[in-house]
Chain A
Amino acid sequence: MALLWTVVSVSFSIIITPFLMFLLAIIFLASIGKSLGVRRLYVKILLKIFEYGRQHIEIAKKDQRREMVTGSSCEGDGDADADATEDERAAAAASTAAAVERAAGAEAGADAGAGDAAHAPATRRPSPGGGAKAPACNGSAGALLPNGALPNSLSVISREDLILSPVPSLNSANGAAKEGLPRSRSFETLKREFELADCLEFVKAGVEAIIEDEVTLRFEAEELKSWNLLTRTNSWYEFISWRLTVIWVLGFLVRYCFLLPLRVLICFIGVAWAVLSMAVLGFLPPSSLKRWLHKRAFIITFRILARCLSMVLTYHDTQYRPDKGGVCVANHTSPIDIITVSTESCFSLIGQRHGGFLGVLQRALARASPHIWFERSEVKDREAVAKRLRQHVSDPKNPPILIFPEGTCINNTSVMQFKKGSFEVGGVIYPVAIKYDPKFGDAFWNSSRFSMMQYLYMMMTSWAIVCDVWYLPPMYQKEGETAIDFANRVKSCIARQGGLVDLMWDGQLKRMKAKKEWKEAQQEEYSKRLKLE
């Protein structure tokens, strides 16, 4: 009994000391803002493991399909099989190239779908087995493909005709002609009398929407092209092979037994630091010293929190980083976005007052610096919030204010309608585009499914959060431009930079039904095209 006790205590002290040293090292590095590159190395290793797993799954699936196909003699088995394997190869090549590019730190977004002819020949290479730099497969480096649009290997249909949109002048044939046609001219020449065949267009658009629409998939976690060894994304692959199961078990142990406790501890330390430092700073009288100290404390807090989620952040174009006042807007995926942008600069935050864990953080931060937290009931009172916003922005000593104009969390494959409130304040807008890499952990917070605690738990048991942040040049409202047009202009800038799909739809569709006015607008659009007697 005594022997057992000694053994336990000795092994405990053997493990605990390096553990604590490790922890201290992390905190220390967070405070001084340096990094040893351990996380990046970790991410590279993970990529190689994913690649290995994916190839394995492809092989296993192909064997399964071959058995099924030889057994049945249905129509389309010939070209279905050929299509499937060709698609698989192309998808495999595309995701290999994309994966290796990411490891090389290249710009994200070149997730070329298999259908893109220009890229297909270049990416059709056997897998390099990790480590080798990708060939310059996107010679057109400027052309970021919207990877929020389902790559062809995941799409069921290809939409070539009418796609309805809440703004009928933007009803489009698959992205074509979003810029304004000279509407008035085309109406007179294109008006036709009513025919029985007129309904066919709407019917087809409706059935296509039932099969695949632009909006509903934005409120679910992004679908991965291949499994990333987390149970939560395993909706396709049941048991495939022993090797994969072993890898999965090892991964499970690493994530739950080593990473999770470490991360929880770091998070605890980070929050404790925030509460204490902000409380202390709250006692100081307003002065430039206080602001300087606050900025340091703020950044340290979020650096610690970033490490607690194993975030690997890559910043682009840091010359445009907002430093002195103004309004900073970004696309919204989850509350983690705040951590993502706050590790390098200090912001004032604006948002709904929460209870629980977020509430603790909110109250702590509010002690030392002007943040705007409002109650739900006050949201309806736009004037009050707008006034406070204007006050904040007009004082040049205040830090820039961080706003998420979508108003709700979207799954990071698209950018939905920006609310015009933040664009009416005047002043300069600093757009920021944030794109998470879903392979390592899905950062999207599906608030209708998961509570904050569940979400944090899922985040802390993911592999890592890998993310690209682009700072865009500041934008100003043009003469005669309405707030809505300005908002749309900023939105399309952000969407283009982040490789996200630019949607006109309102993010509130997550919770609400489509407005009647949109249907009426479609009816009006159609009636304009009818020639009347």
Chain B
Amino acid sequence: MGNRSSLLLREEEIAQIQEETGFTPNQIERLYSRFTSLDRGDCGTLSREDFLRIPELAINPLGDRIVHAFFEEGCGDRVNFLQFMQVLAHFRPIKKGRDNKLNSREQKLKFAFKMYDLDNDEKISRDELLAILHMMVGANISEEQLTSIAERTILEADQNGDQMISFEEFCKALERTDVEQKMSIRFLN
């Protein structure tokens, strides 16, 4: 613990983050406190190791993909607080009548889509789906069965016959899923 006065947030920064993400100042301060406690080296940014030090994340089968979502390509391999908040903003619950810039249903679906889309080409191929399945089941299911699961899934979702799932096809496949509830975290005050 101790005094981290050199890293306290300034009012303008809080206002900027509030504007972009929609979090309240109280939430932003709490999340900043969490950010600094994860930041072991006290350098104002987080690396992948900082995230994976959280045991619950390290044992999550999709842990690596989730961490990857914070590190947009081209921004190096450190995450600053603004980027951190922008990713978390996707998980704010949708409020009717409010301006949902980052947490609309489409944004949430895009986040989920990026979990599957390993090479970032806006399409989920059969191999990418297979890779995610491997992450989720480990060595417990045979390769043939996984392949057949992947092929079936693509067959059901693919509409234009290119053997890959595009973002629109993904949204269509999930149209009956309660994405708002499954991809929203209940933030307090």
Contacts and interface: CB of A to CB of B under 8 A. Distances in A.
Q: Do A and B come from one complex?
A: yes
Interface of A: 68, 72, 74-76, 80, 83-84, 87, 152-153, 155-160, 163-164, 166, 193-217, 220-221, 231-235, 238, 505, 509, 513-514, 518-524, 526-528, 530, 532-533
B189 A83 contact: yes
A84 B189 CA distance: 6
B183 A157 contact: no
B129 to A, nearest CB: 9
Contacts of B133: 194
A247 B138 CA distance: 59
A519 B187 contact: no
Contacts of A232: 1-2
Nearest to B30: A156
B34 A160 contact: no
B185 A524 contact: no
Given A213-B56, A532-B145, A200 B112 contact: yes
B2 A235 contact: yes
Contacts, number: 195
A156 B62 contact: no
A200 to B, nearest CB: 4
A121 B115 CA distance: 45
B10 interface: no
A528 B145 CA distance: 14
13 contacts: A157-B188, A194-B133, A195-B153, A196-B174, A203-B65, A203-B66, A232-B1, A519-B58, A519-B61, A519-B63, A519-B138, A520-B139, A526-B136
Interface of B: 1-5, 8, 11, 15, 18-19, 22, 24-27, 30-31, 33-34, 37-38, 51-63, 65-66, 87-88, 91, 98-99, 111-112, 115-116, 132-133, 135-141, 145, 148-149, 152-153, 157, 165, 170, 173-174, 177, 179, 182-183, 185-189
Given A84-B26, A213-B57, A514-B59, A206 B66 contact: yes
Contact of B1 (A75, A203, A220, A509): A220
Contacts of B52: 513
A520 B138 contact: yes
Given A76-B22, A203-B183, A205-B60, 8 more contacts: A80-B26, A152-B188, A203-B112, A514-B55, A518-B55, A522-B59, A523-B135, A533-B152
Q: Say what secondary structure dominates the interface of chain B.
A: helix
Nearest to B186: A158
Nearest to A214: B56
Given A76-B24, A527-B137, A533-B149, A207 B182 contact: no
Contact of B188 (A155, A234, A521): A155
A14 B153 CA distance: 89
A524 B188 contact: no
A164 B56 contact: yes
A201 to B, nearest CB: 7
Given A196-B153, A199-B115, A204 B61 contact: no
A520 B133 CA distance: 13
B182 A200 contact: yes
A514 B59 CA distance: 7
A239 to B, nearest CB: 11
Contacts of B24: 76, 80
Given A157-B187, A160-B186, A201-B182, A216 B54 contact: yes
A44 B149 CA distance: 67
B1 A164 contact: no
A311 to B, nearest CB: 22
Given A87-B189, A156-B187, A207-B91, A202 B140 contact: no
A211 B140 contact: no
Contact of A235 (B3, B31, B61, B188): B3
A266 to B, nearest CB: 27
A209 B56 contact: yes
Give me the 10 closest cross-chain CB pairs, A-B, nearest first: A523-B138, A209-B56, A527-B140, A514-B58, A527-B137, A206-B66, A80-B24, A200-B182, A518-B59, A202-B62
Contacts of B53: 216, 513
Contacts of A513: 52-53, 58
Contact of B137 (A72, A75, A80, A526): A526
A89 to B, nearest CB: 12
A526 to B, nearest CB: 6
B98 A75 contact: yes
A526 B133 CA distance: 11
Contacts of B116: 196, 199
Nearest to B27: A156
Given A152-B188, A196-B116, A204-B182, A519 B3 contact: no
A199 B31 contact: no
Given A156-B187, A197-B177, A232-B2, A163 B56 contact: yes
Contacts of A199: 62, 112, 115-116, 132, 136
B57 A210 contact: yes
Residue of B1, B5, B91, B139 contacting most chain A CB atoms (<10 Å): B1
A113 B19 CA distance: 30
Contact of A210 (B15, B51, B148): B51
A30 B116 CA distance: 67
A136 B52 CA distance: 45
B60 A209 contact: yes
B2 to A, nearest CB: 6
Contact of A206 (B19, B37, B63, B139): B63
